[in-house]
Amino acid sequence: MADKKVVVKLKEEPAPKKKESFVFSRLNYQVLIAGLAVIFFGFLLMAGGGSDDPNKFDPGMFSFRRVTFGPVIVLIGFVLEGVAIMYRPKSGKNE
């Protein structure tokens, strides 16, 4: 007689459920919000400086605060945004 092969199906175990989490941690969101606040503050520093009378020249619009300090603060805010996006907290697992 011919040998018949018996196929035994093993009961498949369901894959362990992974803990669903957000892309960013709480610290990432805090740094993100802080960066937005710094950018907003930098734009506030650059605002103003115009003259009410269009026939008068106001050299205040070329002040250090508006031309140098404000843009530097905005750039610092953008760097904070990049840090907030790129930062990944260290996990105890070896992946």
pLDDT digits (tens, 9 = 90+) for 22-74: 788 999 999 999 999 999 999 999 998 777 888 888 888 889 999 999 999 99
Q: What is the pTM of this model?
A: 0.70
The set of residues, in sequence order, having a beta carbon less than 8 Å from that of 65 and lying 6+ positions away, is: 45
Please tell me the number of Cα atoms within 13 Å of 20 on its side-chain side: 0
Nearest to 86 by CA among 39, 34, 32, 40: 32
pLDDT at 21: 75
**What is the C-alpha to C-alpha distance for residues 84 and 78, in angstroms, rounded to an integer?**
10
Task: Give me 94's structure tokens.
Answer: 């070896």
**What is the C-alpha to C-alpha distance for residues 41 and 80, in angstroms, rounded to an integer?**
13
Task: Give me 6's structure tokens.
Answer: 């018996």
**What is the C-alpha to C-alpha distance for residues 65 and 13, in angstroms, rounded to an integer?**
65
Nearest to 80 by CA among 44, 10, 45, 30: 30
